[in-house]
Amino acid sequence: MVHTETSELTGSKTFLTQEAFLQEWLGHRRLTRKVIEAFPEDKLFSFSVGGMRTFAALAMEIIRMGAPGLRGIVTRKWQTMEEVEQEYPTPPTKKDLLDLWDQTTAAIVELWPQISAERLQETDKVFGLYEGKVYWSILYFVDNEIHHRAQGFVYLRALGIEPPPFWDRY
């Protein structure tokens, strides 16, 4: 099958509406929050497998991508990754990390309806670095969350802790 890029993205049937995708994302955010909660305080900031980053560091990557990414999409002003890191330094405790998680989830909910259907199809350079269609960048944010959260599942198993079920998005 040969498609032009335009017909692929606009000429075809709807798989997912913008509202349904937000609900999906919020379900994933709820599960990731449970994974953060499941870590013992010290292990969250110290434990990893195979020389990888701690789960606190992975959670911070998710935090720094989601709300700041949407803000760039809505305002068309992109912070650099360094500026995002300065705005959201890694908190010192699990409680602070969970509070930051909740604040940035609220920001996602607020920003979401400000993205137009046309904006989703535009090409932009996310954080001044990653060029692609806006809808694709948003998918990337969520896929990246699922990816790093799954690594947290392995860390928990390696610590002998049962992670929350994958389907638990409530």
Q: Does 16 bind its own copies (CB under 8 A)?
A: yes
Candidates 14, 77, 89, 170; binder of its own copies (CB under 8 A) is 14
Candidates 2, 77, 167, 170; binder of its own copies (CB under 8 A) is 167
CB nearer to its own copies: pick between 14 and 42:
14
Residues 20-49 that bind its own copies (CB under 8 A): 20-21, 23-24, 28, 49
Q: Does 4 bind its own copies (CB under 8 A)?
A: no
Candidates 36, 52, 59, 106; binder of its own copies (CB under 8 A) is 52
Backbone angles phi, psi at 132, to 5 degrees: 180, 175
CA 169 to centroid of chain Cα atoms: 15
Candidates 92, 114, 157, 168; binder of its own copies (CB under 8 A) is 157
Fill in the per-residue mask, 75 to 104: x = in contact with its own copies (CB under 8 A), - = not in contact.
------------------------------
* DSSP state, residue 127: T
Count of positions (residues) in the chain: 170
Q: Where are the alpha helices (DSSP H) in 39-162?
A: 41-46, 55-75, 81-87, 94-111, 117-121, 134-158
Alpha carbon distances (Å) from 127 to 19, 83, 102, 132, 140: 24, 10, 22, 11, 13
Six token digits for residue 36? 């953060």
CB nearer to its own copies: pick between 97 and 134:
134
Q: Does 3 bind its own copies (CB under 8 A)?
A: yes
CA 73 to centroid of chain Cα atoms: 14
Taking the C-alpha atoms of residue 120 and residue 35, their distance in angstroms, rounded to an integer, is 30
Which residues contact its own copies (rule: CB under 8 A)?
3, 7-21, 23-24, 28, 49-52, 116-117, 120, 135, 139-140, 143-144, 146-151, 153-160, 166-167
